[in-house]
Amino acid sequence: MSKARGASTLPARSVVRWGDATYRIEAPTWFAWQDAMERSTRTDGNVDAQRLLEEALAVTARDENDQRLSIDSIRLLSALDGDRLLAGTLELIERQRQYYAFREQEQPDGSIALLGNQVYLKLQSWTFGERNDVLRRSLRLENGQAAVDMALYERMMILACVRTGEDTRLQPSELSGWTVPFGEKVLELLDQLNGIESRYDELLQACLDSGQHHPDLDLIQLCRTFGWYPDRVLGLDAQLAERLSAGVRILKKSGLLADGPAASRLPSAMPAEAAAAASYNPQGGYDAARSNPLGDTGIWELEDGEVTTILVNES
């Protein structure tokens, strides 16, 4: 990682000239760029374009004496000169991106290897628990309203999901020297690993409204109907899962399957007739057909030694 940041051929500075004016552009670190974006974001979440220009130049532009431009001096620039300096900054960042020549390789375990000029990182998805821990630590209270510190959230996500070539975690201090293209590329790949598709919830709603099957909706329905966890459903034979999904849809359409939480468990101290009905039959396994202690209120099956009920509407 440090090699990618410190290689002498990585473009780090450039000079912008027009007329008698001479300015130097210094490539910003990813942290400084993020902070500039944060300072330019209004309370409604939208970016103030003028403030962004000022903040970006404040961390990149220097005068002919190599002194950073102050916000006040930036505001005195003509609009054309400000645009020229910003164009020089973006051009320098693009040259850095070209230097890295990023490429990624999907790994057999589902992770992504980020490769490039003196670059090797391994990116892996995080667990639900890791995501919740990062989100919890990134929440803050602003004027009585809950808000997420996105810069902190993104940095903590990187520390949770990124490994070096030696398969060790990154240290917080290692992120401070990242360039803008490096930080943006890592976040792009982590979003690919950890995020969901754009407008995903709208797609689910459209499928639900039109009756179009969506695998995630089918997964939820099977979990809800049989009281299973997602990992159990995902491990089912595909044909069996399709048959179960089709059966559930038909039962719901006919009104025989309740809309509420369908799977509930009987108390561990089952009535005697339920325990007898759940006894093992060497020829046919657990024989539910011999007795239904629930009468007309539902059907039941034995799962891992416990009776699971599937509630149905009374006819």
The answer to whether the beta carbons of residues 291 and 276 sit under 8 Å apart is: yes
More confident residue, 109 or 196: 109
The answer to whether the beta carbons of residues 185 and 114 sit under 8 Å apart is: yes
CATH code for the domain defined by 103-194: 3.30.2220
List, in order, residues 6 or more apart from 110 with CB less than 8 Å away. 124, 125
- Nearest residue to 111 (alpha-carbon basis) of 179, 180, 193: 193
18-64 tens-digit pLDDT: 988 999 999 999 999 999 998 998 877 788 989 999 999 999 999 99
More confident residue, 263 or 242: 242
The neighbour count for residue 133, using CB atoms within 10 Å, is 14
pTM (2 d.p.): 0.68
E-strand spans in the chain?
13-18, 21-26, 61-62, 103-106, 112-116, 119-123, 139-142, 145-148, 162-164, 263-265, 280-281, 285-286, 298-303, 306-311
Q: Which residue has the tokens 């490994």?
A: 163
Above 80 in pLDDT, residue 73?
Answer: yes
Alpha helix positions (H), 195-286 = 200-210, 215-226, 230-234, 238-253, 272-277
Above 50 in pLDDT, residue 281?
Answer: no
203-245 tens-digit pLDDT: 889 988 888 888 888 889 899 888 899 989 989 999 999 999 8
**Interval 173-195 mean pLDDT:** 94
Q: Which residue has the tokens 């709208």?
A: 202
Rg (CA), the chain: 29
Burial of 121 from C-beta contacts in 10 A (0-12 / 13-18 / 19+): buried
CATH 3.30.2220 range(s) for the chain read 8-100, 103-194
- Report the alpha-carbon distance of residue 180 to residue 182 in Å, rounded: 5
Q: Which CATH number fits domain 8-100: 3.30.2220, 1.10.132, 1.10.10, 3.90.550?
A: 3.30.2220
Lowest mean pLDDT among 146-160, 196-210, 286-300: 286-300
**Interval 13-17 mean pLDDT:** 93
Q: Characterize 239-253 residue by residue with b for buried, 16 or more Cβ atoms within 10 angstroms of its Cβ, and e for exposed.
A: eebeebbeebeebee
